[in-house]
Amino acid sequence: MERIIFETKMVAGDEGVIEGTAWDFGTPDRIGDMIEPGGMKSVFPLPLLFGHDTNDPLGTIDAASEKGGKLHFKARLLIADVPRAAQVWALSKAGAVRGFSMGFNILKSVERKVEGRVVGRLIKQWEWLEGSLVSIPMHPGARVTSAKSAVDAIAIAAAINRAAAQMKGT
């Protein structure tokens, strides 16, 4: 009899972890502003809010990185400690709240012109103050791309165990 062993690892600390794109450097936001890569001046963690409401904190933005022409973020909703965070996390996982928006101070910018006409700003240096989960983000490319949980890990482990049981029976 052959044995099939599937090793699974589940990290309960992943509950409430969300990841996504905070900004696409190659495209302007809805008012024509663009951010130049390399200009962020911030210290993490940053507050994670809902709808830029400073009275509605949900968790923290723990890290950000620039890759592939985009600013990516990783945040954590405090779903075990903040009931509102659990609600927003459920909405995010369901796809109802998938937008992301940044609150920031512009430290250095220049006019952005197309064919001699001012169409927005090119933001060269900026201080990121907060990030917010929103229904409609200012930048069309800013969105949550992943909402992870221990529940997802348990579902995956259960599927692997079912597959292993079926393979044993054959």
The answer regarding whether domain 16-169 maps to CATH 2.60.120 reads: no
pLDDT above 80 (res 148):
no
User: E strands within 25-52?
Assistant: 34-35, 46-50
Rounded CA gap, 55 and 74, in Å? 21
pLDDT above 90 (res 140):
no
What is the CA angle 49-51-13, rounded to 5? 35
* Owner of token pair 């529940």: 151
pTM (2 d.p.): 0.75
Structure tokens at 21: 């794109």
pLDDT in tens, 28-85: 999 999 999 999 999 999 999 999 999 999 999 999 999 999 999 999 999 999 999 9
